[in-house]
Structure 1
Amino acid sequence: MRDTQARFRIPGVTASEPDGSVGFRILGPLEAVGGGVTHRPRGPKVRKLLALLAVRAHDIVEVDTLVEELWDGAPPPTAVSTVRTHIYHLRQELERELGAGAVRDVISTEATGYSLRTAPGRLDLENFTRLYGQGRAELRAGRREKALERLDTALGLWRGRTLSDVGQGRVLAGHAARIEELRVRAQELRIEAAMGLGRHRELVPELRRLVAVDPLNEWLHARLIDALHRCGRRGDALRAFHDVRAVLAEELGLEPSEDLRQLQHHILAGGSAA
């Protein structure tokens, strides 16, 4: 799959870099990019193998781990040799699509397994993690504007669910869940920064979207209720509380948390929205 360089001019992994090295994107569909080209590897096992190398970039992924992921605990007698064959075909495919120079040595063979060795800035997960860490540090230091800028940039790297086009076994699913948790935390920090800057009205549509995606997340519901209240929309805030109470009762048989109940009482008592 070929595309123009302009499509990838984002603060993540671009299709063309001065050093000519290949990059990988896993925050959405799995993609390899380089030389003005983006490529999605073919074959479910090849994609799964590359995905596992990418989520553990720069580490050695043991052959036993690859076998477990590819065959879900029931490998054939030829599993180890088949992994070697998949690695060979993956290297050949990447060289053919992205150029031998860009791909050379990016997948290294080690004594116990294989390792994906990417140049700095050429893996979107690494870029996201770096920006997330910067945003968190800025927020802790009270620099909300800078925190919001870093976190906006970090979240802008996401194109969908982690490795959305890759079938995931137990090992890969565990890594994907960890990465998704980082995304959720980045969203929470971004909301904290924006609310600290008084951007409650701007946050309401985003919070409604996030609540629709994750309806059991009481922290998000509380931020939505608070944002509505701070916008002077007391009735909407109370309706949002009743909505989360109904969802929790129907799905989990639970009452809202103490924090949510205190927020409701504060609104009912006519507490200041400032």
Structure 2
Amino acid sequence: MDLRIGVLGPLTVTVNGTSVVPTAAKPRNVLALLAVRAGQVVPVPVILEELWDGHPPTSALTTLQTYILQLRRLLETALAGVADPDGGAKSLLRTAFGGYQLAAPPEACDVAEFDRLGQMGLRALELGDPATAQRLLREADRVWRGAALLDVEFGPRLQAEARYLEDRRITLVERRTEAGLAIGRHSELLGELAALTTEYRLNERFCEQYMRVLHRCGRSVDALGAFRRIRRDLTTELGTEPGPRLQHLERAILGSAPERELDFGRAQLVP
């Protein structure tokens, strides 16, 4: 039996090449929650919160059991005609004490590949090899097919799971762009950092990187403009000022600081 799970983009769950993702919204949410926690037991109260946001109807448990039955029927259809010594649909979607579990090895989910490549990339940074780190971290980012669970309408639990996955992705993108800057690929990253600072307007790390690469490309005026934009956005939306790193960088650019004060070297790779 071949089970594949994808949550880094549209939800995909296939068994022997056949999709088992339901079209109805609430069963789809149940499967998405089980998929994003594949291999773990998801407690019934967690599933109920996802489906009804803290206000379950009196029939909630019976309705959840119906959704589980519908998912198992989809699994049975995908397994039809295939000998499964492990016990069929109930062995894949298990009833456990207090909850349900989508039984899957870690490598069945795309998150595992993202984590594997990400950890290898971070290890390369620790070993002082930013070129290898950039390559591996770019491969990790390519595992994503869009926003996490792109085609699922979130309840509170899935929203938190998707945000957690996105935060992990952003962290690795920050490290990858730092690695690229460390090996001098300024013009290569110029367009990407312009897009990142537009998408993540309040992310100071991306703004810092963008300012540095603009300055290195002889566009100091544009670098200072990027600082003014994030300062305006932070003040307007959060009531805060840019952090010390950004403020120091602005002063260094304004004062035409020596090259060492704008260094992209290994020290910049430290979180």
* Class of the TM-score when normalised by the shorter of the 2 chains: 0.7 to 0.9
The Cα RMSD (Å) is: 2.0
Aligned counterpart, 2:171: 185
Please give the alpha-carbon distance, in whole angstroms, between the structure 2 residues aligned to 1:93 and 1:134. 37
Q: How does 1:141-152 map to 2 (within 5 A)?
A: 141-152=127-138
Q: From 47, 51, 54, give the equivalent of 1:70.
A: 51
CA contact (8 A) 2:20 2:71 kept: no
Please give the alpha-carbon distance, in whole angstroms, between the structure 2 residues aligned to 1:42 and 1:94. 14
Letter in 2 for 1:110: A
CA contact (8 A) 2:9 2:150 kept: yes
Aligned counterpart, 2:22: 41
- Answering whether residue 159 of structure 2 is matched by residue 173 of structure 1, we say yes
Q: How does 1:107-186 map to 2 (within 5 A)?
A: 107-186=93-172
Q: From 51, 68, 72, give the equivalent of 2:32.
A: 51
Measured against aligned partners, the alpha-carbon deviations of 1:85-116 in whole angstroms (never above 9, x if no partner) come to: 111111212443x4444874322222322111
Q: TM-score, normalised by structure 2?
A: 0.86
Please give the alpha-carbon distance, in whole angstroms, between the structure 1 residues aligned to 2:188 and 2:96. 50
- Answering whether residue 215 of structure 2 is matched by residue 229 of structure 1, we say yes
Please give the alpha-carbon distance, in whole angstroms, between the structure 2 residues aligned to 1:248 and 1:63. 40
1:59 deviates by 1.0
1:260 deviates by 1.4
Choose 159-168 or 200-209, whichever is displaced more.
159-168
CA contact (8 A) 2:39 2:105 kept: no
Aligned counterpart, 2:267: none
Partner SS state of residue 100, structure 2: strand
Taking a change above 3 Å as real, the CA distance of residues 252 and 66 of structure 1, as seen in their structure-2 partners, is: closer
CA contact (8 A) 1:148 1:190 kept: yes
Letter in 1 for 2:228: H
Aligned counterpart, 2:249: 263
1:211 deviates by 0.9
CA contact (8 A) 1:147 1:190 kept: yes
Measured against aligned partners, the alpha-carbon deviations of 1:96-143 in whole angstroms (never above 9, x if no partner) come to: 3x4444874322222322111223422111211222122111111112
- Answering whether residue 219 of structure 2 is matched by residue 219 of structure 1, we say no
Please give the alpha-carbon distance, in whole angstroms, between the structure 2 residues aligned to 1:169 and 1:120. 24
1:195 deviates by 1.2
Aligned counterpart, 2:74: 93
1:247 deviates by 2.5
1:198 deviates by 1.0
Please give the alpha-carbon distance, in whole angstroms, between the structure 2 residues aligned to 1:226 and 1:235. 12
Please give the alpha-carbon distance, in whole angstroms, between the structure 2 residues aligned to 1:83 and 1:178. 25
1:151 deviates by 0.9
The share of aligned pairs that are identical, in percent, is: 39
Please give the alpha-carbon distance, in whole angstroms, between the structure 1 residues aligned to 2:92 and 2:186. 45
Measured against aligned partners, the alpha-carbon deviations of 1:39-97 in whole angstroms (never above 9, x if no partner) come to: 6421111111011111211111122221222121121222222212111111212443x
Aligned counterpart, 1:12: none
Letter in 2 for 1:117: A
Partner SS state of residue 162, structure 2: helix
Aligned counterpart, 1:15: none
Taking a change above 3 Å as real, the CA distance of residues 38 and 152 of structure 1, as seen in their structure-2 partners, is: farther
1:238 deviates by 2.0
Please give the alpha-carbon distance, in whole angstroms, between the structure 1 residues aligned to 2:130 and 2:14. 33
Letter in 2 for 1:183: R
Measured against aligned partners, the alpha-carbon deviations of 1:13-64 in whole angstroms (never above 9, x if no partner) come to: xxxxxxx412111111111235445564211111110111112111111222
Please give the alpha-carbon distance, in whole angstroms, between the structure 2 residues aligned to 1:251 and 1:72. 27
- Answering whether residue 8 of structure 2 is matched by residue 27 of structure 1, we say yes
How many residues align structurally? 254
Partner SS state of residue 270, structure 1: coil
Aligned counterpart, 1:208: 194
